[in-house]
Copies of this chain bind each other. A is one copy, B any other.
Amino acid sequence: MKYGHFDDVHQEYVITTPKTPLPWINYLGCNEFFSLISNTCGGYTFYKDAKLLRLTRYRYNNVPADINGKYLYIKDGDTVWNPGWQPTKTELDSYECRHGIGYSRFTSSKNGVKASVLSFVPLNDNCEISQLTLTNGSSEDKKLSVFSYVEWCLWNADDDMKNFQRNLSTGEVEVQDSTIYHKTEYRERRNHYAIYSVNTKIDGFDTSRDAFLGAYRGADSPEAVENGKCTNSMASGWSPIASHQINVDLAAGETKTFIFVLGYIENPEDEKWESYGVINKTRAKEMLAKYQTDAQVEEAFAALQAYWKQLLARYTVDSADEKVNRMVNTWNQYQCMVTFNMSRSASYYESGIGRGMGFRDSCQDLLGFVHLIPDRARERIIDIASTQFQDGSAYHQYQPLTKKGNSDIGSGFNDDPLWLIAGTSAYVRETGDTSILTQMVPFDNDMSVAAPLMDHLKRSLDYIINHKGPHNLPLIGRADWNDCLNLNCFSAHPGESFQTFGPSEGPVAESVFIAGMFVKYGEEYAQLCELMGDADEAARARKEVQAMYDAILKDGWDGDWFVRAYDAYSHKVGSKECREGQIYIEPQGFCVLAGVGVKEGLAEKALNSVKERLDTKYGVMILQPAYTEYHLELGEVSSYPPGYKENAGIFCHNNPWVSIAETVLGRGDRAFEIYRKTCPAYIEDISEIHRTEPYVYSQMVAGKDAKFYGEAKNSWLTGTAAWTFVNISQYILGVYPTHQGLSVDPCIPKGFGDFSITRKFREGTYHIQVKNPQNVEKGVVSMTVDGKAVDGHIIPYEKGKEEYNVVITMG
């Protein structure tokens, strides 16, 4: 069952009913000012940091679902309705929500009045525009009233929902003309305020929630709207809001527009006040002056669209499979940008107050983003590396506002160091910019102990080399990629962190997954060494890689698949020997994509085991059999009910690893089958089962052991976005950046047909045609570049060259 459809021409998902199974959301904003917006106009807004600088209040896990938002009420006689249906839930005569790239557009109608709302965050500005267009399609003149409504958050979203004994006394606002200024705490330590304005004279306003809503009422039935009259309330404490009232005479056939602007303003400390107790509004007025006319809004919107168009044009495919085209050209890249911006902070499942930027998360997000805006990826790499310790380990998270490591969580997630190599390698391969490798980067943000980034990478590698266990495999520390595999924790009491309670790190528990990573990223490190002319260090690295490879084959192989780990007692995890959790997905995917066991025939065996034991119609499960009991020695992985999350859920993030691994073996059919099973565009038809947005990936789909098998959770912010884009773009479609140039070596399903790709790479635009006359799954038999035959499948990079026309023939 579907609740809408893709509009590939406009790169939009068109939702045709507000009653989606879950709120289906979009993100507005590219740089520092962001809004989440659902298909019923729910959501919230923040500046830079979803915890510390939240402009509007949202209630997670609320009933009714997805209430609060930026609401517009239209009062037409006794009928009150919203263009997004919620919160009044007045049945609409028509409804449409189009989630586009950085904007959402709602078009609804009721009793002959059509309302269209276009919401977006202009490029390089700290505000959200909501342009309301009202058209009277009836044959009668109408007297309407429009009421806006946002509820202010008192900035710190965590404190805002706890510290009522203070917060209910601090709220302050100013109102001037048509602008409501939210200035809570501006009197003291804040130098910023928020505004909500509209480009017309207003007929009333409210800034007190109680005054606007009325006692014991919700946003579904504000008293002021019911009465047709705002009360011009001035909030003092309690809950400040912003509501404008605009009375609109709309003749039959007439159209009027209104531009609402929600903005964030910072003032220098010595320019805070206009007069005693009155905030300086200069910057607010400058911002508002930019969005007073429809022409101005159209221009800002066109600039945003142009920006996205050039970004998404950096990788486009034209194949016979419209779903592949749709995901590659639009939605997967878009989600990569959003995850890069948000990390795991603010979604409808991440409350925006718990986690900072993850070291591991951000390095992986970068893999799917680096081709879009390499400069921002470079900056991110430096930020991340700056939180590394001198021994090569790293803070597991850092705060986006301060960019300092989070000492509550600390370090000891032993896969972290290698992800820095992964991200840096991807950046250098994409850009050819080796200057990053010599840039001086601090340790633990202390510039007095800075070292070139290349030295950071060396310490990353050495951290693994120096932290091996009894089987010469890497020690796991607090956890590896699987945060829930806590082999050194032994938490027996609720409330303890599964990751940081107890010893957390130990000299015995080992990770085969990290071993696989080491093989892959050890080689990538060696290539960077060569690039820097350090053949000795490259050789040393490759020797260590070989040792790790051997250790995996010796003690990381279980007969039919790779072992997952050794626990603190040196017992195998993810082995035939186990009662539950006999096979895990991660080492199968990562060891094979690193090339381990390929030539020995073990890789194929491992992937066949995955298919046999972990595959489902909705994707590949993370482990089987599910843990039915809590295992003190394994930790959080066994804490989830069977089929959910890390306990035998379909954890989408590692499905592409297996798919990539299949491409290493050349099995295009199987690689694509795995790709397809979790790919949003392919499962749009089962939205009533899948439930989350059909245009983006979710972190997890419930596995076969779960009661709600096939139901997804935690959409949008997941490393799945980056890894599936890496998979489809670099391995399946096969356009992989190397230090020497773009490699084109597709691995596709039979019957996929010919296809072409346009790829911006460094200064050049590559027009790549792939022909597959033999209908093979893998293999390049010839390549021409600008009409000339070239050996192999790497397009030689030529500095400064702007256009490449490439024909690849598979066979």
Binding site for B on A (CB under 8 A): 18-19, 21, 40, 52, 59-67, 86, 89, 151, 155-156, 158-159, 161-166, 168-170, 172, 185, 187-190, 209, 213, 215-219, 234, 236-237, 239, 276-277, 344, 348-351, 353-354, 491-496, 628-630, 638-641, 644-645, 649, 699-700, 706-708, 713-714
Contact = CB atoms under 8 A, between A and B. Distances in A.
Contacts of A493: 189
Given A86-B216, A351-B164, A187 B699 contact: no
A403 B350 CA distance: 32
A154 to B, nearest CB: 10
Contacts of A640: 169-170
12 contacts: A40-B216, A63-B219, A64-B216, A164-B349, A164-B350, A165-B713, A168-B714, A169-B700, A185-B639, A188-B630, A189-B491, A218-B218
Contacts of A491: 189
A60 B354 contact: no
Nearest to A700: B169
Contact of A645 (B151, B169, B628, B708): B169
A700 B165 CA distance: 10
Nearest to A62: B59
A65 B164 CA distance: 14
A17 to B, nearest CB: 11
A645 B156 CA distance: 20
A641 B234 CA distance: 14
A204 to B, nearest CB: 19
Contacts of A67: 63
Q: Which 3 A-B pairs have the closest CB atoms?
A: A236-B707, A188-B630, A169-B644
A495 to B, nearest CB: 6
A159 B353 CA distance: 11
A498 to B, nearest CB: 9
A241 to B, nearest CB: 10
A614 B406 CA distance: 46
A190 B351 contact: no
Most buried by B among A156, A161, A162, A349: A162
B161 A351 contact: yes
A156 B189 contact: no
B641 A161 contact: no
A60 B188 contact: no
A349 B237 CA distance: 13
Contacts of A350: 164-165
Given A60-B161, A89-B216, A641 B170 contact: yes
Nearest to A348: B164
A218 B64 contact: yes
A144 to B, nearest CB: 25
A354 B706 CA distance: 35
A151 B630 CA distance: 25
Given A159-B495, A237-B641, 20 more contacts: A19-B216, A59-B59, A60-B161, A64-B216, A86-B216, A156-B495, A161-B161, A164-B349, A168-B713, A169-B644, A169-B700, A170-B641, A172-B641, A187-B639, A189-B491, A189-B494, A218-B218, A234-B707, A236-B641, A237-B713
A706 B234 CA distance: 12
A18 B236 CA distance: 25
Contacts of A170: 639-641, 644
Contact of A354 (B66, B163, B189, B495): B163
Contacts of A277: 628
Contacts of A348: 164
A344 B158 CA distance: 19
Contact of A215 (B19, B349, B706): B19
Nearest to A631: B188
Given A19-B215, A19-B216, A213-B63, A641 B162 contact: no
Most buried by B among A189, A349, A638: A189
A63 B218 contact: yes
Contact of A185 (B66, B236, B494): B494
B162 A351 contact: yes
Contacts of A21: 215
Contact of A708 (B158, B159, B166, B236): B236
A189 B492 contact: yes
A494 to B, nearest CB: 5
A712 to B, nearest CB: 11
Given A21-B215, A189-B492, A234-B707, A714 B165 contact: yes
Contacts of A644: 169-170, 237
Nearest to A628: B277
A215 B708 CA distance: 17
Most buried by B among A62, A239, A496: A62
B217 A63 contact: yes
A634 to B, nearest CB: 11
Contacts of A699: 165
A67 B62 CA distance: 10
A149 to B, nearest CB: 11
